[in-house]
Structure 1
């Protein structure tokens, strides 16, 4: 049995730009990239066709949006602009550390997060009060290519933890995305119903029941 956590709004809360398109545009301009006059429209238009449930990196989308307006920019400028636009202020949620430590005491622990910005999850963890070394695997949609609730997202983190997806307990705040664990035979704990303060007790119950079944 293994435990995976959603990150944003589960273990941490982060600042988000009020206007993502404008934030990206500002960072592009800082790097000398010409921003099209209809950037808001370009930003919100789909330029990269993808399979349902797959993740398109935001930098890929931004590059395609610029090219659709005949603007070219070095890939590293775009990546850096996107990273800067979403660079977060991070607050660790109450009881998050205790919940993670309870999970660690009983088996492998990972993070599975939907995030289209490369390295944002890692930067967020670095700024949180949670010790990154507690996690045996950190899997993001931008890295594995699939967003929760797609089964492949959960299969990816299960593979990284070297467990079967059916043995996963996934803890998150969104039944529509995090609840996808149920479709691969795992179990979902919804922190909007079972708070992080109660998760430790709930996990202890899960692990004790599992031990009883084995014995």
Structure 2
């Protein structure tokens, strides 16, 4: 990989739309409740990873996803049977992509100078299942040369050790070669984590809100795009 441009794609919230679970939730709850549960679920899923990082604790992303779903359901006064929860979690393994993803990955397949990898908080099994089972993403899975997760590090984004693990896995030195790597993410916390470690990072701002994250005001994305297809004009 040393002579190629390395581009690491975040999965959930960048390639796969976590909001696409609403359709499945709608089979069990009202439309309004399904949308609200989906938003709470995602919020708690991320919040749990940050809490665990802060406490120096670790649990698998699969467990976090289950526990945050239970939290969101309880918050809405919903108490479905275990088999319903299991069914919802299985559906989470086959989320839909954002509309711009298939065409962007189709273009990427014709750019041999770029090596693309998936880089996710998820477990190896969960991420592999998602990539292979998503009806929109699975036809393009060959674009990704590797799936890199946080399992071995036992920390979550945006912990510095996670980005160092990415670099080491693809044969780069975290101490001096982070600038050789590009991250593509729709999650501001991920973008800032990568930039803090010296990586290039493209924020996918599909909502066209503009960069407003102020956790570290001196850190900005290398570039902002509104459509995933535009990343190829940024990465030359």
User: Residues 185-209 of structure 1, C-alpha deviation per residue, up to 9 Å, x if partnerless?
Assistant: 11111111312121111112xxxxx
Aligned to 1:184: 197
Q: CA deviation at 1:157?
A: 1.7
Asked if the contact 2:53/2:159 (under 8 Å) is kept, the reply is: no
User: Is 1:123 aligned to residue 129 of structure 2?
Assistant: yes
Aligned length: 165
Aligned to 1:101: 109
User: Is 1:160 aligned to residue 169 of structure 2?
Assistant: yes
CA separation of 1:120/1:96 partners in 2, compared to 1, >3 Å: closer, same or farther?
Answer: farther
Q: CA deviation at 1:142?
A: 4.4
CA distance in 2, matches of 1:144, 1:5: 18
Please, which runs of 5 or more residues in structure 1 have no aligned partner?
24-42, 64-76, 205-215
CA distance in 1, matches of 2:204, 2:196: 19
Q: What TM-score, normalized by structure 2, do the two folds share?
A: 0.55
Instruction: Select the structure with the greater relative contact order (CA < 8 A; seq sep ≥ 6).
Output: 1
Aligned to 1:147: 156
Aligned to 1:173, which of 186, 190, 199? 186
User: Is 1:5 aligned to residue 12 of structure 2?
Assistant: no
Where does 1:26-37 land on structure 2 (aligned, <5 Å)?
none
Asked if the contact 1:148/1:178 (under 8 Å) is kept, the reply is: no
SS of the counterpart of 1:139?
A: strand
Structure 1 range deviating more: 149-158 or 137-146? 137-146
CA distance in 1, matches of 2:130, 2:60: 17
SS of the counterpart of 2:119?
A: strand
User: Is 1:87 aligned to residue 93 of structure 2?
Assistant: yes
Please, which runs of 5 or more residues in structure 2 have no aligned partner?
29-43, 68-82, 206-223
SS of the counterpart of 1:16?
A: helix
SS of the counterpart of 1:96?
A: helix
Aligned to 2:145, which of 136, 154, 162? 136
User: Is 1:16 aligned to residue 24 of structure 2?
Assistant: no
Aligned to 1:57: 60
Q: CA deviation at 1:182?
A: 1.0
Asked if the contact 1:173/1:191 (under 8 Å) is kept, the reply is: yes
CA distance in 2, matches of 1:202, 1:161: 21
